[in-house]
Amino acid sequence: MTLDNISSNKSFSGWHKQYRHHSLSLNCDMRFAIFLPPQAMNEKVPVLYWLSGLTCTDENFMQKAGAQRLAAKLGIAIVAPDTSPRGNDVPDCPEGAYDFGLGAGFYVNATEAPFDTHYQMYDYIVNELPSLIEAHFPINNKRSIAGHSMGGHGALTIALRNPDRYQSVSAFSPICNPINSPWGIKAFSGYLGKDKQNWLNYDSCELIKKSHHFVPALVDQGEDDNFLKEQLKPENLQAIAKNINYPLKLRMQPGYDHSYYFIASFIEDHLDFHAKHLG
């Protein structure tokens, strides 16, 4: 697999780099960003995969979250992929809406035409991208995963479905119960079709009910988030986690909204959380 290095910037004695490659899972060219801490010059380091939210690319987190300083100190690499397949041949929302199609892959494997040809984001994040990262960079086999909003949904569902692959999971403002959320209902109808039984494979509340191998989880949610009641529903996830004693900590943060100002305020807590589990 050929990687095309788009940019390189030194940061806190490590390196932030962007790459382009052809994805076999998504049948298009994809871009990702990686931050390599200074420790990666001499040894293999653990990695945190960051999944961004609606309308975002690989750039939002790396430019706005302020994660590099502590990641460099802790010796953790960070990989931020794009949020959907891209390209002239990739179908988009016919109405041009922001919450479906390009920039809104929802980290599922689409089964409905015309989206099934390209929108295989679950396979890309779980299998193809880690294989690529571990083959080309000084990364060891310890992984954690995190995300925001749609990406928080993706991080939680991927960790719950693959507990043997991740040491820990965290999320900011995740869509916790998408089968009961307007964003989730729209995305799942378009990507997965009318059979709602198939939707359950991508809903954190449904997946956590069946958990046997627990992945430690941290969730931060702003109390002044405009999407809290209608779209995110963290209380549903917390209630189920308590019923089965799942190691999930939900922190409601007064005054914070859905923005990257919120993420930047608590990202170091999340990095410390993952560092404890990544060893």
Report, as residue numbers or ranges, the catalytic residues: 149, 225, 258
Q: What is the rounded CA–CA span in Å between residue 118 and residue 27?
A: 6
Q: What is the rounded CA–CA span in Å between residue 142 and residue 206?
A: 26
CB atoms within 10 A of CB 130: 19
Helix (H) or strand (E) holding 170: strand 169-172
Q: What is the rounded CA–CA span in Å between residue 6 and residue 155?
A: 26
3-state helix, strand, coil in the chain (%, to 5): 40, 25, 35
CA distances from 43 to 25, 71, 76, 77 (A): 30, 15, 11, 12
Three state DSSP letters for 17-63: EEEEEEECCCCEEEEEEEEECHHHHCCCEEEEEEECCCCCCCHHHHH
Distance from the first to the final alpha carbon of the chain: 30
89 CB-contact burial (10 Å; exposed 0-12 / middle 13-18 / buried 19+): exposed
How many Å is the Cα radius of gyration of the chain?
Answer: 17
